[in-house]
Amino acid sequence: MFRIFERVVVLINDIENIDDLLKKGVEFANQHKKKLEVLFVHEKSVFSISDYFFSSHSNKKDKLDIDKVKNKIQNHIYNIDSSIESDIFISEETTLNSVLTHAKDNRNILFISNYEKKITQKLLQKTLFSYLIFKNNSFTPHNILMPITLEEGTKDDIKLTKDIFPKSSIEIVHDYRYKVPAVESDGLISIIPVVSHMDKELHIKTKEKEKNIFEKYKKEFNVQGSFIEEKKGLNIDLLDYIEKRDTDLIVIHHQDEEMFVPSVTFNLLDEVSSDFLILNR
């Protein structure tokens, strides 16, 4: 197996909701033959935590008892897999700062986390790591959907996804109308539809060229696939298509120069109920 992930880190914000994350973390760490790392981040302004996890000393009532937090997490890991090697880290900084500090400039990391809109968006905007983001906790996804571009690197994404999920059914989908991003505003990048810059004849030629390339992808990787035809407009057509599919997991690449710039990624994350694997090459 081609292993892109040098480290596997379970990112926890809610100490009362950790079983599913830890199970998936153990699975991926074992699959990639890595030590399991757990990073618990307590953002006081976002998540509350039981008084039990604070110091019992009268002069430290507002101080997190790190040993109690670590023991709870360690006990859950032991109940899942008593033989796995693991390290647990505790932080009371922001999730973004905690992730950046923990990663130490190593980009080949898979962070496994629950979807928290503001936190997740900030991580995708400010970091270059891969994320497995849970919304439905589909442990063994049967049906995987990959919205793709046809640029260099896309084939690696498909190969990696097939490698990680060898028993899953993978479908690729392509909307040829997405092209290079335009002006960035409020942290989001606007997308310029290619059709707005083309006459009708060139539009048709571009569409047919992209369609032929897409069909070759389907044959090369022996996967199902759909080439989106324009109906309602950009973003809407892709969302409509995804919502009609029985999809457990959506795999996208959030740093692609064309399609999956942050605004599109955020829209999918917000509107679609499936789990997400956000890949960084």
The 10s digit of each residue's pLDDT in 60-95 is: 556 788 899 999 999 999 999 999 999 999 998 999
Largest CA distance in the chain: 77
Q: Looking at the structure, do residues 156 and 233 belong to the same domain, yes or no? A: yes
CA–CA gap between residue 120 and residue 217 (Å, rounded): 31
Q: Nearest-5° angle of CA 264, CA 266, CA 268?
A: 70
- Cα 37 to Cα 12, 29, 199, distances in angstroms: 11, 9, 53
Q: How many CB atoms are located within 10 Å of the residue 235 CB?
A: 17
Model's pTM, two decimal places? Answer: 0.85
- pLDDT tens, 150-169? 877 888 889 989 988 888 99
Examine residue 79 and state whether it is found in any structural domain, yes or no. Answer: yes
How many CA within 13 A on the CB side of residue 136?
Answer: 15
Boundary (domain end) residue, out of 112, 134, 156: 134
CA–CA gap between residue 144 and residue 223 (Å, rounded): 11
pLDDT band for position 216 (cuts 50, 70, 90): very high
Q: Looking at the structure, do residues 154 and 266 belong to the same domain, yes or no? A: yes
| Domains held by the chain: number | 2
3-state class (DSSP) for residue 115? coil
Quote the domain boundaries for residue 228: 143-279
pLDDT band for position 229 (cuts 50, 70, 90): confident
CA–CA gap between residue 111 and residue 38 (Å, rounded): 9
Examine residue 2 and state whether it is found in any structural domain, yes or no. Answer: no
Q: Looking at the structure, do residues 169 and 115 belong to the same domain, yes or no? A: no
3-state class (DSSP) for residue 169? strand
Examine residue 93 and state whether it is found in any structural domain, yes or no. Answer: yes
Instruction: Give the percent of the chain with pLDDT over 70.
Output: 81
